[in-house]
Structure 1
């Protein structure tokens, strides 16, 4: 890689950086999952599924808590990284290469979870609904699906920029996410992520990737969830503070949405 230019790559091919950047959220998420299972599930939760598991930080954390975990993803690089992490930490979990709209398992799960916008990678209504119904087919009645994604307010700034920083003994990672195209009518936004990863050796990886996400207003999110109300009911709603004592209303002020869906 050149010293000053970011190389265009798929950042999912660099799971070590992806995993570091979001690791700060893991403890709060796992704590919330356990409380939500106790409060809202109508069945004991042991066997859990994460569709779109990525680098598997939640798979690893839930396996460490003693759950029987399965993680599914489309990225071989992500799953290879996850398998290595599980082996390194002496943990067991099942990893599956597959599409989160076409999952099929022999044994159903007690609960599933998919947080932090993975759901928005499904770029049309057909795919979103297909996914929700597919998860319903994999979860036992009374079980849960904890689904988290950003909902955009009507007065949203299309020039949004987010930054993340993470560091360990081997590398220091800085990332910037910028919206580079926003089409409200088509319900799509295009994002660019740039990563500077400075290694202890002195080498710096400079990476750039672009991808699209589907846009949801609170009304559009409500419509999508209502379309699968025959299989899912909304048990409660929270936000990305992961505070089980602070449920949220499904209104225009809900932006970082965390839905606890229960299988009918």
Structure 2
């Protein structure tokens, strides 16, 4: 029997898709903290933490972590993961625009793999960046990663990949089903076929819009928050701390190291 539903309600599949990236991301984060922060980094927050793979991994490295997400299934999965590993982290259900973390101040924040692009307009993006700044100390960092769409991007892009864990194999297809450069929106369809050890098949599908950014649009956005964030360096998703990138039209997989400026 097959079932078709939303992948955000099935964190185990969501997690399998991205887990191979975790070691490289964690290693890069630690190097960036050492290289760009003017004081030791201990307290971290991830807006839009999803299944919490990075929160759990960094908690396992000894950091005090806070994960924030709207999806209760994702947060339940994160809480269960932390219990299984004997780890502690704060888990909050809430919107990354408002950042409902009380009066906490963190040494650094991070948000990677296009979560930022779920913010559908510049007003929400600017509000988010300012709210994160409210909760990061002066000199602290925001590691912000998302895809920048070149002007010659193929609007009919389809990607496929596979992952497996615990006897379950997943086949993932990511397809752009609508691309509107004028409205700065692309709609993605993610389809997952999960085959369990028993042979049972579970099908999951989600469709959601993401905000489009060119390099020049990204520059204009970050200029609006230049009073609270300065760009210390830019990298791509290779996570090579010794290979920074230029902020030009060739930049597509962008990871910005933003530093909190003084008040």
Fold shared by both chains (TM-score > 0.5): yes
Name the structure 1 match of 2:31. 35
Counterpart Cα distance in 2 of 1:185 and 1:16: 36
Question: C-alpha distance in 2, partners of 1:262/1:168?
Answer: 37
**Corresponding residue for 1:81?**
77
Pick from 28, 47, 52 the counterpart of residue 48 of structure 2: 52
**C-alpha deviation, 1:163, in angstroms:** 1.7
> Deviation above 6 Å: which 4+ runs of structure 1?
none
SS at match of 2:45: strand
Question: Counterpart in 1 of 2:13?
Answer: 17
Cross-structure match for 1:169: 166
Say if 2:190 is the partner of 1:210. Answer: no
Deviates more, 1:58-67 or 1:169-178: 169-178
Structure 1 residue 105 displacement after superposition: 2.5
Q: How many residues align?
A: 260
The CA distance in 2 between the partners of 1:208 and 1:31, in whole Å, is 32
CA RMSD of aligned residues (A): 0.9
Q: How far does residue 26 in structure 1 lie from its aligned partner after superposition?
A: 0.3
TM-score normalized with structure 2 length? 0.97
Q: Distance in 1 between matches of 2:113 and 2:20?
A: 13
* Distance in 1 of aligned mates of 2:126 and 2:161: 31
Structure 2: where are the runs of 5+ without partners?
A: none
Alignment counterpart, residue 179 of structure 1, candidates 176, 180, 189: 176
Q: TM-score, normalised by structure 1?
A: 0.97
- Equivalent residues in 2 for 1:194-233, closer than 5 Å: 194-233=191-230
Which is worse superposed, 99-108 or 16-25? 99-108
Tell me the alpha carbon deviations over residues 163-204 of structure 1, each in whole angstroms, 9 at most, x when there is no partner: 221112330011110000000000000010100000011100
* 2:94 paired residue number: 98
Q: Secondary structure of the residue that 1:182 maps to in structure 2?
A: strand
Distance 1:190 1:182 in 2: 6
